[in-house]
C-alpha cells in the first residue's frame, strides 16, 4: 500500500488532483460552517475561496509542482501572475454562484465554478506560473 501511495505522489497530475480535492473539502467545511453561522451563500463562498486560495497556492507550489524557489526574481512574477488569475477566478466563482443560487445551494454553485477553474488553473500553473522544465514530461507518467 505504501508503494502505491508513493507511486501516485510521483505523478504531477495526481498530486494536483489530491491537493485540489483536499482544499475543496476544506472549502466545503468553511461554506457549511459560515452558513450555519448566518452568512449568505455568496459571503460563505467568498470566505472559503480566499482561505482555500492561500492553502492551495502554498501546497500546489511546494507539493504539486515542487517549486521551492523563494528568490525575489522568481517569487514576485509568480505572485503577480497568480494574483491576476485569482482575481479572475474569484469573479468567475461569484458570478456562477450568483447566477445559480438560488435555486441551487451555494455548494453546488461553487463546485461547478471549481470544475472550470481547476482545468484552466492546472494548465496555467504548469505552463506559466510554476513552470519547471524538469516536470514538462511528467504529467501523468
Instruction: Let me know if residue 21 belongs to a domain.
Output: yes
Instruction: Let me know if residue 39 belongs to a domain.
Output: yes
**Number of folded domains that form the chain:** 1
Residue 103: asked if its preceding bond is cis (omega within 30°), the reply is yes
Instruction: Let me know if residue 95 belongs to a domain.
Output: yes
Instruction: Let me know if residue 46 belongs to a domain.
Output: yes
Range of the domain at 105: 2-134
Residues shown for the chain: 141
Instruction: Let me know if residue 140 belongs to a domain.
Output: no
Any idea what the Cα angle at residue 109 is, between residues 107 and 115, rounded to 5°? 100
Helix axes 12-36, 41-59, angle to 10 degrees: 150
Instruction: Let me know if residue 141 belongs to a domain.
Output: no
**Where does the pLDDT of residue 13 fall: very low under 50, low under 70, confident under 90, or very high at 90 and above?**
confident
84-88 own/partner pairs: CB under 8 Å, 24+ apart: 85/121, 85/124, 85/129, 86/53
Q: Which helix (H) or strand (E) holds 89?
A: helix 72-100
Instruction: Let me know if residue 122 belongs to a domain.
Output: yes
Any idea what the Cα angle at residue 18 is, between residues 12 and 19, rounded to 5°? 90
- Give Cα 67 distance to the centre of its chain: 16
Instruction: Let me know if residue 68 belongs to a domain.
Output: yes
Whole-prediction pTM: 0.69
68-120: pLDDT as tens digits: 888 888 888 888 998 899 899 989 999 999 999 888 998 899 889 989 998 99
Average pLDDT of the residues in 27-36: 95
Amino acid at each position: 500500500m505504501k508503494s502505491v501511495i508513493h507511486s501516485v505522489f510521483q505523478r504531477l497530475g495526481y498530486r494536483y488532483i489530491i491537493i485540489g480535492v483536499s482544499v475543496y473539502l476544506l472549502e466545503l467545511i468553511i461554506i457549511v460552517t459560515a452558513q450555519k453561522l448566518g452568512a449568505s451563500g455568496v459571503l460563505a463562498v467568498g470566505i472559503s475561496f480566499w482561505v482555500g486560495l492561500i492553502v492551495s497556492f502554498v501546497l500546489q507550489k511546494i507539493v504539486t509542482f515542487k517549486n521551492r524557489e523563494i528568490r525575489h526574481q522568481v517569487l514576485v512574477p509568480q505572485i503577480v501572475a497568480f494574483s491576476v488569475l485569482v482575481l479572475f477566478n474569484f469573479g468567475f466563482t461569484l458570478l456562477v454562484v450568483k447566477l445559480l443560487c438560488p435555486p441551487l445551494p451555494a455548494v453546488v454553485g461553487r463546485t461547478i465554478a471549481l470544475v472550470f477553474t481547476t482545468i484552466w488553473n492546472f494548465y496555467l500553473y504548469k505552463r506559466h506560473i510554476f513552470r519547471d522544465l524538469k516536470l514538462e514530461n511528467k504529467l501523468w507518467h
